[in-house]
């Protein structure tokens, strides 16, 4: 067998494979952050936090929590596709706020204690 061009052929293979892997790296780099961004967008962190803030603000500063409660239930359902409810109740010497949030994917419940 004639083996004169072995080195040339091997270098040719090496170079072409390196190009191939570099191309693959570039190809994958376009989707960096994709799943992260999707998770951030889909988990209703801001919705829950915002709902919770408004409810607690209303309970601490407001007078008509009844109206606020009905407002938030109706508007959440029509504009945010989420079931939201809260109620306050008093135990022996504490007042509790029960918060409920559910948008079909994520559900959040909390009992907040007002001393």
Partner 1 sequence: MVNDGGQLYTIEGVSAGLIMLLTAYFVLNSTSIYTPGDSHINDMQLEVLGYDALLMMNTPANNTMVKSPLQEIVEQDDGQRFKTMFMNLTNNKTGSTTDRLQFSANYTYRIQTASTQNATASAFLSSSRPYTEGEHAVRVTKWVIVDKQLGSSPVHNRAVLVEVLLWRDA
Residues that bind partner 1 (CB under 8 A): 1, 3, 6, 9-10, 13, 17, 20, 30-31, 33-34, 37-38, 40-41, 46-47, 50-51, 53-54, 57-58, 61-65, 67-68, 70-80
Nearest to partner 1 of 30, 111 (CB atom)? 30
Distances (CA, A) of 53 to 23, 25, 60, 72, 78: 48, 44, 10, 12, 20
Q: Give the closest residue to 98 by CA, choosing from 106, 107, 89.
A: 89
Helix then strand count (H, E) for the chain reads 4, 3
Distances (CA, A) of 32 to 26, 38, 79: 10, 12, 32
Minimum separation from the CB atom of position 53 to partner 1 (A): 7
CB nearer to partner 1: pick between 31 and 92: 31
Q: Nearer to partner 1 by C-beta: 61 or 90?
A: 61
CB of 58 to partner 1, least distance (A): 5
């Amino acid at each position: 067998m004639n083996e004169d061009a072995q080195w040339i052929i091997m270098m040719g293979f090496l170079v072409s494979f390196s190009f191939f892997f570099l191309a693959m790296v570039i190809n994958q780099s376009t989707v960096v952050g994709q799943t992260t961004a999707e998770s951030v967008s889909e988990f209703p962190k801001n919705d829950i936090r915002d709902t919770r803030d408004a409810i607690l603000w209303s309970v601490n500063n407001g007078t008509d929590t009844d109206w606020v409660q009905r407002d938030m239930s109706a508007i959440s359902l029509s504009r945010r596709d989420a079931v939201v409810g809260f109620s306050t109740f008093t135990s022996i010497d504490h007042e509790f706020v029960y918060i409920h949030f559910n948008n079909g994917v994520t559900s959040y419940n909390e009992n907040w204690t007002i001393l």
